[in-house]
Structure 1
Amino acid sequence: MEVNLSLCQNAVDIAFRVPHGFLSLILPNRLLADNIDILREVFAEIQKQHLFRMDAVVVLPDHLHCIWTLPEDDANLSIHWNMLKGVFSKKIEKRRKNFSQPEV
């Protein structure tokens, strides 16, 4: 079987030009599963601002894994990931404060 090496080389060139990232996050207890609505909202918010592609996401009760592809001119994977974690944390904290408010 003959392989067209120029096609393979093009695929490799594209794979190395476009930043990809495998990301994991581990949180205590069921924090992700219990706040999946917030997680979805934050993913959409950050993705809209930064235009990366989510190729895969696996959400388990206490951790998640993601594979993202960034635009060719964007190599700031850690910045986007840190923004996601920060916004998610703030929204969770806000939810906790709202639930802990005594009813009048």
Structure 2
Amino acid sequence: MHYRRVRAAGGTYFFTVNLADRRSDILVRHIDAFRTVVNAVKTRHPFALVAMVVLPEHLHTIWRLPESDADYPLRWSLIKAGFSRRLAAGEVVSVSRHAKRERGIWQRRYWEHQIRDEADLERHVDYIHYNPVKHGWAARAVDWPYSTLHGYIDRGMAMTNWGGEMMNDGVGDYGER
């Protein structure tokens, strides 16, 4: 089945990707394996990683694709498959997934949104970096170790206390359910 997706060469996209078991914590338990796979895919199919946060059961990221490339579905397929192959089998696998020789690690689909302008980008980067606080994984955004917020701070693009006093400001639903 093919899904309708906006694909713009050189586009910048926000993604939410979920595990099939939303009670799992394998993304953070196996963060080194996840990082290795993402870096391997980036090497073979380049993209700029603008922002990312990895939570136990889902992740949010923003990618900027090369000017001549719009194939983010390929990249996600390679990341999901590569990460799954690094984990020992043992998860529950539905009959339909078994018939297709799929693992039961990831939800099949993901949420994507093409970034429209600088304000949209800033809003999504903030959403990503504040997400561990929103979900109760950290008291302050800077306390969550699996976030590009630390790089933003190191480069002087954010203050060390960024998000410390922020409240959930009603930013829209970006598909994290």
Alignment pair present for 1:69 and 2:64: yes
Higher relative contact order (CA 8 A, sep 6+): 1
Residues 1:25 and 2:20 are matched in the alignment: no
What TM-score do the two structures reach when normalised by structure 1?
Answer: 0.70
The Cα RMSD (Å) is 1.7
Structure that is richer in strand per residue: 1
Could you state the TM-score of these two structures normalised by the residue count of structure 2?
0.42
Q: How many residues align?
A: 80
Q: Which has the higher helix share?
A: 1
Gaps of 5+ in 2: 1-7, 91-177
The structural deviation recorded for 1:81 is 1.0
2:41 is the alignment partner of 1:39: no
Q: Distance in 2 between matches of 1:70 and 1:17?
A: 7
Unaligned runs of 5+ in 1: 1-15, 97-104
Change (3 A) 1:31 1:72: same
Report the counterpart of residue 53 of structure 2 in structure 1: 58
1:80 aligned residue (70, 75, 98): 75
Identity %: 35
Which is higher, the Rg of structure 1 or of structure 2?
A: 1
Contact 2:27 2:54 (C-alpha < 8 Å) held by counterparts: yes
Moved over 6 A (4+): none
Cα distance change of structure 1 residues 93 and 66 upon mapping to structure 2, 3 Å threshold: same
